[in-house]
Structure 1
Amino acid sequence: MTMPQGALLVGSVNFDDAEKTMRVAAATLGDRLKRIPDGEVGKRFHWIMFQPDVLGQADGIERVGDQPIPFPAGLDARPLRIADGVDAADIELPPLGYADAAIESHAVFTRLRAEGAVPPGVRFQVSLPTPVAVVSSFFSGDDRAAIEPVYEAAMRRELARIAEVIPHEDLAVQWDVASEMGIIERAAGYGKVMDAWWPGDPFGGLVARLASLIDAVPADAEVGVHLCYGDAGEKHFVEPADAGHLVRYANAVMAAAARSLTWLHLPVPIDRDDEEYFAALASLSPVAELYLGLVHREDGVAGAERRIAAASRFVTRFGVATECGIGRAPAGSTEEILRTHAEVAAAW
């Protein structure tokens, strides 16, 4: 059986602050970890759910409905619309919050590295959602096509500021890609997931969009992609039949991007330790680092080892991760999940 090489923390971690995330992750995983996130603490705890509160501040964008829809952490879950008579191209979005958070957390990272709590050579990981995620989640109808270039420009400004302030030798940027898989599954015949807002087969548009984001990351910084089927209430928006769509999309994106991916993460559902799920990995294009999200809190090391055994029949070198972030995992379970990563992942 393949011995997994290293571990990846997908992004969110269920701790209250960035310093605890970094200290505990570094202490638990040691040299099994090449990069470390801040845990997506604070308003980023629920991934993109804080973005409507940010975007709703812009002139020309309105909340749908007269009353807030309460969401944890004091967020308003109402969707958004472009106001009547407003040209989306004229909307000026405020800072989205990702650059401010990254710069603040990187200062903690550098202090902990100077203290020896974070090992030298470990990079600071910044996880960013794709514009497709925010546009598809909070806008509808014709507003999606109109607002997408505006939001994408705002996200690229966030990335540019991150790259301006954080030294590139420290920086690892991960694009979180969930809604795209929903669109792909819809096109493949699944219901209850989302439609694209551009004509024809959506696959080519999804490939071009993600490849462009990968290429936007400076060449001397690292870039990774986390493919995902969501984890609302620790449930996927659709259960993948196998890894086929993931591999097809990843291969197309890697072929379209001008620069190489540093790492690729693919999710593995908890009930899939069968060869049929993993067989498509045999046709995955080469990538510097592959991580399989086969660590689950519910069955720990034993479950991870079953899935490792099945995956090893089709891919010979990979690291381990959870299938999505662990920010919404039950309180008190985080340390054990990190220990499972450490136990099943050998050092690089």
Structure 2
Amino acid sequence: MSQPQGALLVGSVNFDDAETTMRRAAEIMGPQLKRIPDGEPGRRFHWIMFQPDVLAQASGLERVGDEPVWLRDNDIRPLRLAPGTSAADVTLPRLGYADAARESYAIFTRLRDEGVIAPGTRFQVSLPTATAVVGIVFVDDDRAALEPVYQRALNREIAEIVDAIPHNDLAVQIDCAVEFLIYETHTLDGGRHPWWTGDVWQGLVERAALPLAQIPNDVEAGVHLCYGDSGEKHFVEPRDTETLVRFGNDLAEASARSFTWLHLPVPIERDDDAYFAPLRELRLDPRTELYLGLVHREDGPEGATRRIETALRHVDTFGVSTECGIGRAPEGTTNGILRTHAEVAAAW
């Protein structure tokens, strides 16, 4: 059997700080990794769910509900425009992504200088789309007005990141998850059309292309497609890879630049040909790396190997990853998950 080529850490890792994440990743997975993230520690542990606290600082926005709703130390109550306020009156604060990237890159370079991280490895920054934050953080009636406000703020963060970090050291991943929640549920009973007019699918693809357009061509750019992992559960179970493949193809066509990599999830129970068969329809630049999220903590190397065997009947070359970040994995399982990546992936 051919072996997968390399591994990808999707983003979050369940360690308390960036240095531990980068050290453990380099020690356990070093030869398999082209890029190392900071693990999104602290308040970033649950992807975008620290953004309500950040955005609540903006004049003109207010919380919905009188009592905090705590997710660890994040108050995740949604936000709305304050009475008498328009979106034009709202100036958003710094979102936190550029500040975190600068701080973690300093740790990355120190570890590289110490010989912990191999030369040529890039520092990976993961960012949401505006669709994700607008769709989760703001109330329905205000999303259309606040979307361009948040998109501009996100563009500023990307510009700061690519300004602060040498391009040959940087890799930026765009995370698309809420896109699939919207697409898969908008036609269900009780589902609602999203906040834009026109075709839902086209709107999702066009919006996902916007942050990619902000990333210079000499910076690596990856795309992570996801069906969520809150409580280690998907918000909808993907029937197969058809919708993921279609989104990847359409986003590649809509994007102003090519992807360096594309990541797709593989549910733990799917080791059947029907799930992987649509991968034959991927139309990516030949230089684009494909990663399949078939590593699961529950069944380790044995389960990953079983899914790899099926995948290889439908796609020739890919690397391995988990379905989503592992920042919410149970405490004490992270080293084992990293070792599974290393065991089932060959070096590039």
TM-score bracket for the superposition, by shorter chain length: over 0.9
Cα pair 1:217 1:223 within 8 Å, conserved: yes
Deviation of 1:191 after TM superposition, in Å, equals 5.7
| Match of residue 215, structure 2, among 214, 217, 231 | 217
The letter for the 1-side match of 2:79 is L
Cα pair 1:186 1:195 within 8 Å, conserved: no
Aligned to 1:81: 80
The letter for the 2-side match of 1:251 is N
Deviation of 1:193 after TM superposition, in Å, equals 6.9
Take 2:28 and 2:189, find their aligned partners in 1: how far apart are those partners? 41
The letter for the 2-side match of 1:70 is W
Aligned to 2:62: 62
Q: Deviations over 1:37-65 (max 9, x none)?
A: 00000110111111001100100000011
Aligned to 1:36: 36
Distance 1:112 1:97, change over 3 A: same
Please list, as runs of the form range in 1=range in 2, the aligned pairs for 1:245-264 lying within 5 A after superposition: 245-264=243-262
The letter for the 2-side match of 1:93 is L
Deviation of 1:210 after TM superposition, in Å, equals 1.2
The letter for the 1-side match of 2:144 is A
Deviation of 1:289 after TM superposition, in Å, equals 0.3
DSSP-derived class of the 1:306 partner? helix
Aligned to 2:175: 176
1:9 aligns to 2:23 (yes or no)? no
Please list, as runs of the form range in 1=range in 2, the aligned pairs for 1:26-175 lying within 5 A after superposition: 26-72=26-72, 74-175=73-174
Please list, as runs of the form range in 1=range in 2, the aligned pairs for 1:273-292 lying within 5 A after superposition: 273-287=271-285, 288-292=288-292
Cα pair 2:64 2:80 within 8 Å, conserved: yes
The range that moved more, 300-309 or 192-201, is 192-201
| Match of residue 205, structure 1, among 200, 203, 206 | 203
The letter for the 2-side match of 1:259 is R
1:233 aligns to 2:223 (yes or no)? no
Take 2:68 and 2:109, find their aligned partners in 1: how far apart are those partners? 39
Cα pair 1:193 1:237 within 8 Å, conserved: no
DSSP-derived class of the 1:239 partner? coil
Aligned to 1:310: 310
The letter for the 1-side match of 2:232 is E
The letter for the 2-side match of 1:76 is D
Cα pair 2:321 2:341 within 8 Å, conserved: yes
Q: How high is the TM-score relative to the length of structure 1?
A: 0.97
Take 2:209 and 2:80, find their aligned partners in 1: how far apart are those partners? 28
Take 2:258 and 2:127, find their aligned partners in 1: how far apart are those partners? 18
Q: How high is the TM-score relative to the length of structure 2?
A: 0.97
Distance 1:126 1:281, change over 3 A: same
Deviation of 1:70 after TM superposition, in Å, equals 2.1
Moved beyond 4 Å, runs of 4+ = 189-195
Take 1:307 and 1:3, find their aligned partners in 2: how far apart are those partners? 12
Take 2:69 and 2:228, find their aligned partners in 1: how far apart are those partners? 21
Deviation of 1:87 after TM superposition, in Å, equals 1.4
Take 1:195 and 1:19, find their aligned partners in 2: how far apart are those partners? 43
Cα pair 2:252 2:284 within 8 Å, conserved: no
Gaps of 5+ in 1: none
DSSP-derived class of the 2:232 partner? coil
Cα pair 1:79 1:139 within 8 Å, conserved: yes
Deviation of 1:195 after TM superposition, in Å, equals 4.2
Distance 1:145 1:84, change over 3 A: same
Aligned to 2:266: 268
Take 2:171 and 2:35, find their aligned partners in 1: how far apart are those partners? 7
Q: Deviations over 1:246-269 (max 9, x none)?
A: 000110000111211000000000
Take 1:265 and 1:242, find their aligned partners in 2: how far apart are those partners? 15
Distance 1:24 1:3, change over 3 A: same
DSSP-derived class of the 1:233 partner? helix
DSSP-derived class of the 1:169 partner? helix
The range that moved more, 205-214 or 329-338, is 205-214
Q: Deviations over 1:197-222 (max 9, x none)?
A: 11232111111111121121111100
The letter for the 2-side match of 1:140 is V
Take 1:69 and 1:91, find their aligned partners in 2: how far apart are those partners? 24
The range that moved more, 283-292 or 168-177, is 283-292
Q: Deviations over 1:100-127 (max 9, x none)?
A: 0000000000000000000000000000
Cα pair 1:4 1:345 within 8 Å, conserved: yes
The letter for the 2-side match of 1:89 is A
DSSP-derived class of the 1:164 partner? helix
